[in-house]
Amino acid sequence: MSSNNQQSKTNSNQHTPVDRVDYDALDKAKLAFIAASKKTLSFAQSFGFVPEEKLGASANLFSLNLEQYINNSHKNIYITLIAEGLGTADDARPADLTPQELKQFWYNIGIKTISSLTNDAASAGLQTILISLYLPSSDPKKVFDSNFLDGFTAGLIYACKTVGCVWISGETPQLKGKIYEDKLDIAGSLFALLPAGITTIDGSKLQAGNKIVLIGSSGPHENGFTTLRALAEKLPYGYRSKLSNGQEFWQAINTPSKLYTPLVQKLLKEKVEVCNLENITGHGWLKLMRSTKPLCYHITKTLPVPAVFSFVEKQTSMSKEEMLKTFNYGAGFAIFLPDQANAEQTVNLAQNLGYEAVEAGEVLSSDSGRKIIIEPFNVEICDKNFLLQKS
The tens digit of pLDDT for each residue in 187-224 reads 999 999 999 989 899 999 999 999 999 999 999 999 99
The mean of the pLDDT values for the chain is 92
Same domain, 179 and 232: no
Q: Decide if 389 is inside a domain.
A: no
Query: 22-73 pLDDT, tens per residue?
Result: 888 899 999 999 999 999 999 999 999 998 777 888 889 999 999 888 876 6
Same domain, 102 and 230: no
Same domain, 181 and 227: no
Q: Taking residues 265-294, what's their average pLDDT?
A: 95
Same domain, 218 and 138: no
Q: Decide if 391 is inside a domain.
A: no
Same domain, 189 and 226: no
Same domain, 368 and 228: yes
Same domain, 101 and 65: yes
CATH number of domain containing 131: 3.30.1330.10
Same domain, 100 and 233: no
Same domain, 187 and 254: no
pLDDT value at 370 more than 80:
yes
Q: Decide if 107 is inside a domain.
A: yes
Same domain, 335 and 361: yes
The total of structural domains in the chain comes to 2
This prediction has a pTM of 0.92
Q: Taking residues 161-167, what's their average pLDDT?
A: 98
Same domain, 219 and 135: no
Q: Decide if 188 is inside a domain.
A: yes
193 backbone dihedrals φ, ψ, rounded to 5°: -145, 160
Same domain, 121 and 223: no
Domain that holds residue 162: 23-193
